[in-house]
Chains A and B, each alone.
Chain A
Amino acid sequence: MSASYSSGRFSAVLFKEFIQMRRDRMTFAMMIALPIIQLILFGFAINNDPKNLQTYIEMNDTGPVSRSFLAAMQNSKYFDFQGIVANTEQIDAVLKDGRAAFVISIPEGFERAVLRGDRPSLLVIADATDPAASGNAVAALNQLVSSSLQGMTDTVLQSLAARPPPFSVIVHNRYNPAGVTSYNIVPGLLAIILSMTMVMITAMAIVRESERGTMEALLSTPARPIEVMLGKILPYVVIGYVQTLVFLGMALLLFEVPFNGSWQSFLIGVNVFIVVNLALGFLFSTVARSQMQAMQMSFFYILPSILLSGFMFPFSGMPIWAQYIGSAIPTTHFIRIVRKVMLKGGEIAEIVPDLMALLVIMVIITGLAMLRYRQTLD
């Protein structure tokens, strides 16, 4: 009987954790403030659909078509014409030192080619260091091609306008050819926020017991590891829910990220991911000797999960070895789940592969944590 699981002891640990959590106002505030601050920092920096982007023009030809197109660009409010550049060197210069977000290059003989029906191309060179910032403007360009010709009196051009566009726009992204969009980043932030707080807070909460010496008293009671583990982890599941709610509120209302998929698949994904992170925090706590170490280990883990998970850089663009590492990180799979669900309208069936991956990682981590968890002070 004594060796058996006791829900009384489990709930005793649970209850104690909640009291301590409430006492520790600082950490508690951090857990709530962190998602808000991160979302504001990351979210606004990328998602505010910036207008009036500085634009330079390389005029190698002029005529009604290009004038009309440039006027349409100006009217769209996305582009703010700063001046003329004469050659490639100048183009490079204005882009490099950040004076220009865009350079529009009108090629020689452009007007005649349009009238002949050759359907030439306009070159738009974009500074894509912050792809989210320029994304909307780029998207607007193609729209502008047809709308720019709408008001033209020339019948030839009108007839051209009716058919497939008389010229096209080629966008050259400088500095970040992959061009991640803002919608990609906000859902990814949920994964980052959750793994940052969940892993770190659990690891620290458990190491705190060793550091303050209370682990010795806890271990000298007949508590079983599973009772301690569950009791210590569950309060933070609740915190995870609160963070998710805060995130959803901000993502949907403030950043107007669409939510196209099913709530069920979202909830399943979130739950599994939270548990994986808590188990990972628990595992870290069995290795770390001080709260400081626990924190360092958590940061050490956060770094690859930001860089290799597909949050910052497109996953498929990474070298193979990095993809292997990335696949072992829970964040990678959760980011895919959230993006699929929120942006691409994913249903359960579509998230199954990543869910499976998360479950496998969870089983491994939990197993390791239970193996490493010592009922002694050795």
Chain B
Amino acid sequence: MNGSAAIAGDPTGKPVIEVSGLTKRFGDKTVVDHFDMSVPKGAIYGFLGPNGSGKTTTIRMMCGLLTPDSGAGTCLGYNILTQSHLIKEHVGYMTQKFSLYEDLSIRQNLDFIARMYRVPRRTERVENALEELGLADRASQLAGQLSGGWKQRLALAACLLHDPQLLLLDEPTAGVDPKARRDFWDEIRRLSDRGVTVLVSTHYMDEAIQCDFIAYIAYGRKLIDGEAAGIPGQVGLVTWRVEGPKLAALAEELTGQPGVEQVARFGAALHVSGTDAAALAATVSKLKKTGKRTWKQQPAGLEEVFIHLMAGSQDNFAGRSPT
């Protein structure tokens, strides 16, 4: 629903982020490899990939914090190579690691950021932000004393002070409890409805399915991207849904069979998926005979796709794995 709403909101607009061929090397290690991405205005764009796959590095290049070794692009219409100071004026970047001053109070942090962006009517804005955060009565507490969830909310508030047109959120909900995560996503939706474009990196699946668009990166290379609804079709994943008794035993039996790439439990059912439809069908017909279970082929959902993508790539710190 949101995907279509966002696109309908600005069908002709130029992409907010448009980069191509972005490459970044640290030493002899290529961390981001010819990365292309196009983020439409007003969209919530999910940026997925395992740890160390290059998400943070890519985001940093897009807002001018890192210089790409090659590639080019624009962000909010400004050249990412030459106009980063203009990009910075209009982008709110929430870093993966908390990057406000732990030895400054909550209010001092907000005030500092507001001054750096030369926010008009600064004091008022800061007080409003404190009210909205629900931190008004703790404003003189040191930021370092806040819990993870509060730090994340403070960081979001700080990067919203200057009314950015684009939000870059780098794993904003890592290590935050589920309730706080839900609240956080409600806030993202509200901002998106107001026309703010949001690029958010995450490795939570339940967050990925809330996005309008998705790009998946592993070992610095983009594996897939597009509208969220179209992703399963692109991956070409076939899923069989099994219901009946003794599913745990069945799951064990299925693992390692030809065509079976992934077995996942969804409530009272098992979802058995694979990209080789024929091999999977053969295995299924063989197993249908054992036990009284109902088998049904259905289109793969985003959930299965992400489990599939994530299973395909472990943490990427060690370097490219043989394929």
A interface majority secondary structure: helix
Q: A213-B97, A218-B116 are in contact. List 15 more A-B contacts (CB 8 A).
A: A3-B86, A8-B115, A12-B116, A16-B104, A19-B104, A20-B101, A23-B103, A217-B93, A217-B95, A217-B100, A220-B93, A221-B113, A222-B88, A375-B84, A376-B84
CB 8 Å contact bits of A184-227 with B (1 = contact, 0 = none)? 00000000000000000000000000001111111111111000
Contacts of A119 in B (CB 8 A): none
When the two chains form the complex, which single residue of A222, A224, A378 contacts B67, counting CB atoms closer than 8 Å?
A: A378
Q: Which of B60-117 contact A (CB under 8 A)?
A: 60, 63-67, 84-86, 88-89, 91, 93, 95, 97-104, 108, 112-113, 115-117
Whether a CB of chain B sits under 8 angstroms from the CB of A9 is yes
> Is the beta-carbon distance between B118 and A8 smaller than 8 angstroms?
yes
The digit string for A1-15, where 1 denotes a CB below 8 A from any CB of B, is 011001011011001
Once A8-B115, A8-B118, A12-B115 are accepted as A-B contacts, the answer to whether A24 and B103 lie under 8 Å apart by CB is yes
Give Cα distance in the complex from A220 to B102, angstroms: 18
Residue in A11, A16, A220, A223 whose Cβ sees the most chain B Cβ within 10 Å: A220
CB-CB nearest in chain A for B92: A220
| CB atoms of A377 and B65 under 8 A apart | yes
Which residues of B line the A interface, CB within 8 A? Answer: 60, 63-67, 84-86, 88-89, 91, 93, 95, 97-104, 108, 112-113, 115-118, 158
Q: Give min CB distance, B94 to chain A, whole Å.
A: 9
| Chain A residue nearest in CB terms to B101 | A214
State whether A212 touches B112 (Cβ < 8 A). Answer: no
Which 7 pairs, one residue from A and one from B, show the smallest C-beta to C-beta distance?
Answer: A12-B115, A217-B99, A221-B116, A220-B93, A222-B88, A213-B97, A23-B103
Whether A212 contacts B102 by the Cβ 8 Å rule is yes
- Chain A nearest Cβ from B184, distance in angstroms: 19
Within 8 A of B (CB), among A1-58: 2-3, 6, 8-9, 11-12, 15-16, 19-20, 23-24
A36 CB to nearest B CB, Å: 26
Q: 6 A–B contact pairs at CB < 8 A?
A: A2-B86, A3-B86, A15-B112, A19-B104, A221-B117, A222-B88
Q: Give complex CA distance A11, B99 in Å.
A: 20
Q: Chain A residues near B113 (CB, 8 Å)?
A: 217, 221
Is there contact, CB below 8 Å, between A378 and B99? no
B206 CB to closest chain A CB (Å) equals 27
Report chain B residues within 8 Å CB of A20.
Answer: 101, 103-104
Return A376 CB to nearest CB of chain B, in Å.
5
Does the CB pair A220–B101 fall under 8 Å?
A: no
Rounded to whole Å, the gap between the CB of B68 and the closest CB of chain A is: 10
CB distance from A378 to the nearest CB of B (A): 5
**CB-defined contacts of A378 to chain B, threshold 8 Å:** 66-67
User: What residues on A are CB-neighbors of B84 within 8 Å?
Assistant: 375-376
Evaluate whether A9 and B115 lie within 8 angstroms (CB atoms) in the complex, with A16-B101, A221-B88 already known.
yes
Closest CB of chain A to B244's CB: distance in Å? Answer: 51
Evaluate contact between A12 and B93: CB separation under 8 angstroms.
no
A93 to chain B, nearest CB (A): 60
Residues of A within 8 A of B91 (CB): 220
Q: How far is the CB of B26 from chain A (nearest CB, A)?
A: 9
